[in-house]
Chain A
Amino acid sequence: GENVEQHPSTLSVQEGDSAVIKCTYSDSASNYFPWYKQELGKRPQLIIDIRSNVGEKKDQRIAVTLNKTAKHFSLHITETQPEDSAVYFCAAVDSGNTPLVFGKGTRLSVIA
């Protein structure tokens, strides 16, 4: 089955700097890669996703890149702000009804 590794487990950046979180997956059949943000005490919420027919996707300050050959995808946050502080989860799944497989999460702290 699918296995998703996520690094780093914790990340501290200064406000205004960029943050990058990386994930690798094992199943070449996976073709949907979402990223979830979980603020303290709140539910995980989808912030961006990418499908295997696309190499990069941007939404304002966040972007995701996908390298299908190497089986890795990354989340990039530019101009970080204190409200970006949260736990971020990557996930992977194929197009069927199989469950999302999540990475273990990255705790991002943005220091003002």
Chain B
Amino acid sequence: DVKVTQSSRYLVKRTGEKVFLECVQDMDHENMFWYRQDPGLGLRLIYFSYDVKMKEKGDIPEGYSVSREKKERFSLILESASTNQTSMYLCATREALAKNIQYFGAGTRLSVL
């Protein structure tokens, strides 16, 4: 079974804080993704990575950055958290080529006060 583990289920932060969301996978998948999920807006892609130290912007990268120093770990960073970044954040992982099946983490519900 694929395991995609997000470090926190719930997080409360203050405006202006630097926030780290961590995601770890155990299946040696090359591709990792960060989404945010808001009611009525579906799953919006923030950043993704095809390989270690590699990153690509998704549809809504503003206000976020990412880090992938090791293949199994993909971190999402909010440099200066704002209230409009209150959301559910989902990490996902997928094999390169092959079956294309994507697996999601359980999500982190972030509240920025």
Q: Give the interface of A toward B (CB within 8 A).
A: 6, 9, 32, 34, 36, 42-46, 49, 89, 93, 95-97, 99-100, 102-105
Contact = CB atoms under 8 A, between A and B. Distances in A.
The SS class assigned to the A binding surface is: loop
B42 A102 contact: yes
Q: Which bucket holds chain B's interface residue count?
A: 20 to 34
Contacts of A6: 42
Interface in B50-108: 50, 58, 90, 94, 96-97, 100-107
Contacts of B48: 99
A50 to B, nearest CB: 11
A100 B40 CA distance: 18
B64 to A, nearest CB: 15
A34 B102 contact: yes
Q: Which 4 A-B pairs have the closest CB atoms?
A: A104-B42, A43-B104, A102-B43, A32-B100
